[in-house]
Amino acid sequence: MTKLSVNINKIATLRNSRGGDVPNVVQFAKDVQRFGAEGVTIHPRPDERHIRYQDAYDLKPIVFTEYNIEGNPIPKFIDLVLANKPTQVTLVPDAIDAITSNAGWDTIKHKDFLTEVIAEFKRNNIRTSIFLDPVLEQVEGAKETGTDRIELYTEAFAHQYSLGNKEAIKPYTACAELASKIDLGVNAGHDLSLDNIAFFKQNIPELLEVSIGHALISESLYLGIENVIQMYLHKLQ
């Protein structure tokens, strides 16, 4: 079964919009795990516009499932990850002013940098994953960095699927097959939703984990967080 990791950035966004501590990020992380989520994901950015760096420390003692910290490995982020030692660190090449993640790594151009960063995390027993566009050459490049996994960037699939184009899954399937062949684990995330997750899962061999935030939280406004988590778990079976 593919694991569901809930990205709680949007809960932090809502908290920050009003000031104070409502909704409480730590309590929400406790609740999603109690409702069946198999991981908690956060993606702190330098401006701390949603998840704050302190949140990473506050969450560490209460995440008893998989703890996944995503972000661009600038020095401050690297220090944060090493201090908290999550289950997994997912490296994402965010521009500072990006509203959300919008591209995967060029693992060939940035091979030396990624190799160095990944080696440091692995020395600290932290599983590593690289955020990737569904391009075969980039999967091969990821293997050369020493990473444990890749995370397929699924925005293009989600957009095309919403238009009725199911052929958009093909490059993702090909990349997942290659990754499995060369002993890389496969994660996925970005714009996956209740509408498309079952089809995606059915076509991606050995999909280990999906990280879902924006859609899951939005769907929960109508359907309730406990119900939505159960719906995702059912579709991922």
**How much is the mean pLDDT over the chain?**
96
Residue 110 has pLDDT above 90, yes or no: yes
- Report the distance separating Cα 51 and Cα 9, nearest Å: 6
Catalytic, out of 38, 66, 70, 151: 70
CATH number for the domain formed by residue range(s) 3-236: 3.20.20.70
Q: Based on the residue annotation, tell me whether 159 is a catalytic residue of this protein.
A: no
pLDDT at 170: 98
Report pLDDT digits (tens) over 184-224: 999 999 999 999 999 999 999 999 999 999 999 999 999 99
Q: Based on the residue annotation, tell me whether 50 is a catalytic residue of this protein.
A: no
Catalytic, out of 38, 43, 66, 219: 43
Contact 79, 52 (CB under 8 A): no
Catalytic, out of 50, 66, 151, 190: 190
Q: Based on the residue annotation, tell me whether 70 is a catalytic residue of this protein.
A: yes
Residue 32 has pLDDT above 70, yes or no: yes
Contact 43, 53 (CB under 8 A): no
Nearest to 208 by CA among 66, 57, 82, 105: 66
Nearest to 45 by CA among 20, 14, 73, 7: 73
Residue 99 has pLDDT above 60, yes or no: no
pLDDT at 103: 81
Per-residue pLDDT band at 94 (split at 50, 70, 90): confident
Query: CA angle, 57 as apex, 224 and 100 as ends, to 5°?
Result: 60
Residue range 86-93: mean pLDDT, rounded: 97
Residue range 230-234: mean pLDDT, rounded: 98
Residue range 113-118: mean pLDDT, rounded: 98
Report pLDDT digits (tens) over 13-29: 999 999 999 999 999 99
pTM: 0.95
Residue range 80-85: mean pLDDT, rounded: 98
Give the DSSP letter string of 109-155: TTHHHHHHHHHHHHHTT-EEEEEE-S-HHHHHHHHHHT-SEEEEE-H
Per-residue pLDDT band at 100 (split at 50, 70, 90): low
User: Which residues, in sequence order, are CB contacts of 46 under 8 Å at separation 6+?
Assistant: 74, 76, 96
Report pLDDT digits (tens) over 117-173: 999 999 999 999 999 999 999 999 999 999 999 999 999 999 999 999 999 999 999
Query: CA angle, 110 as apex, 132 and 190 as ends, to 5°?
Result: 20
